[in-house]
Amino acid sequence: MTRPLRSIALTTALVALLPAACTAQTPSTPIAPPPAATPSAPLVSGLPDFTALVQRVGPAVVNVRAEIAPRRASRGQGQMPNEEEIPEIFRRFFGPDMPGGPQGPRGPRGGGNSLGTGFLISQDGYVLTNHHVVDGADTVKVTLSDRREFTAKVVGSDEQSDVALLKIDAKSLPFLRLANASLTKPGQWVIAIGSPFGLDHSVTAGIVSAVGRMNPYADQQYVPFIQTDVAINQGNSGGPLLNTSGEVVGINSQIFSNSGGYMGVSFAIPIDVAMNSAEQLRATGKVQRGLLGVGVQAITSESAKGLGLSDSRGALVNSVQAGGAAEKAGIQLGDVILAVNDRPVNTSSDLPPLIGALAPGAKVKLEINRGGKVLTEQVVLGALGAEVAGAPGPAANDDSAVAPGRGGSNALGLVGQDLAANARQRLGLKVGEGVLVQTPGEAAGEAGLRPGDVVLSVGRTAVGSASALNRELAGVRPGDTVMLLVRRGAATQFIAVTAEAKAG
């Protein structure tokens, strides 16, 4: 399947640009008057001119070349390397079928280069670029605009934010100023400088299309991307996205493309997110992030109705990690998180960047809606990486997953069945927790419920048997919307189900 999201570092095995030269004999009599000694008055005014900006900031933009040495074969002739052995630059841009393609770059056994962009952030040689540009590299070379080349030290690299911090041994270097990230707004002009297809110091311009954009095709939930329409291509990875003051607002990271080339949608990592990672990488060599210990989901108009909310703002809590920060602070299933430290949470995707930007141990004020009442809770964050892995769920046709006892009728037509003790153990459920779905019924089936799902609660009320499920659904009337908390495999989510209205 084609992957629409593309990383934008360039592999040298892909591109060979061969500009053609031609000569012509100068005619003895010119066919047109010679060029004017001074430019004519412009016929179009009011358009932006980025010449002065590029001349000032261009020297601080660098080329980054990551060299991957050939690897000794560890398997039979002709066998392909495992995916985890393939450097991220190859995985992210070319996808899982890359090694066998006739025009794909050489894999890690054969070595190869990736070419990206970076920029200086200090006069003593600190360089920012993308993690995926240098991932798996044995040697990283940095070339300045004056053509001096240095072997760079990778101070640290963080996959989640896709940021790498490099250091070269040089002094008195030009460097870029950083923008106040909060001032970046949709509609503003922005400029990118980079090396698309190896064409170094290429300049493109456009506008900010959106900020705080969650990229559904990237596994980077802690990055609220800047989306632009600036022309970005392979080789622009790690280059600066600049405002009209020549300040860095972001690091160009990815493009949305079905072809591998520019299609009008590109994504940049906000500079405040990048510098948070860079400072931690310089200090400790790794990046730590706060952990709230909840699973959240988006609120639809249907679920807002079921929750009694006036709108769909916020992040709906559908799981709480046992022993985690949220549980210790009293956060409950069905709570809706509205704000973090007075910063609004409009959608569920807003929450991870706000929490991930904070350090473990940080005290956080959460504004939540619980059953229609707005509350404030104080939470001390845990550390990302301490999550408890979920257990796999029982198969729908696994006879050992059920125990005697079936549900009768209810307003949703949902037929439940008691879970056996061993099934609850596999799911990580407590004794008397959860009801297996045997038949979802028409309304719940249309809402997404499947046979084999496990209903954990109806609204905020936990259910542990088919009879308890029927009792909680007994009061549902035609046209009512009810929230079912459902476990499917290791995932837990609320599903809003509206009971069918009776024909009048």
DSSP assignment of 300-311:
-HHHHHHHT-SS
Q: Indicate which residue of 7, 114, 131, 132 is catalytic.
A: 132
Residue 233: CB atoms within 10 A of its CB come to 24
Token pair belonging to 78: 């002709």
DSSP secondary structure letter of residue 325: H
Rounded to 5 degrees, φ, ψ at 292 are -85, -35
Question: Which of 279, 291, 307 lies closest to 351 in space, CA to CA?
Answer: 291
How far is Cα 8 from Cα 5, in angstroms, rounded to an integer? Answer: 10
Residue 462: CB atoms within 10 A of its CB come to 17
Question: Judging by beta carbons within 10 Å of its beta carbon (0-12, 13-18, 19+), is residue 71 exposed, middle or buried?
Answer: middle
Using CA atoms in the order 439, 445, 450, 454, what is the torsion angle rounded to 10 degrees? -80
Tell me the sheet residues that pair with 269.
Answer: 251
Collect all residues with Cβ–Cβ distance below 8 Å to 383 and sequence separation of at least 6: 288, 289, 290, 291, 360
Exposure class string for 186-209: b at 16+ Cβ within 10 A, else e: eeeebbbbbbbbbebbbbbbbebb
Three-state DSSP class for 302?
helix
Q: Indicate which residue of 135, 158, 162, 350 is catalytic.
A: 162
> Is residue 219 among the annotated active site residues?
no
Residue 13: CB atoms within 10 A of its CB come to 15
> Is residue 237 among the annotated active site residues?
yes
Q: Indicate which residue of 114, 157, 237, 465 is catalytic.
A: 237
Q: Which residues are catalytic?
A: 132, 162, 237
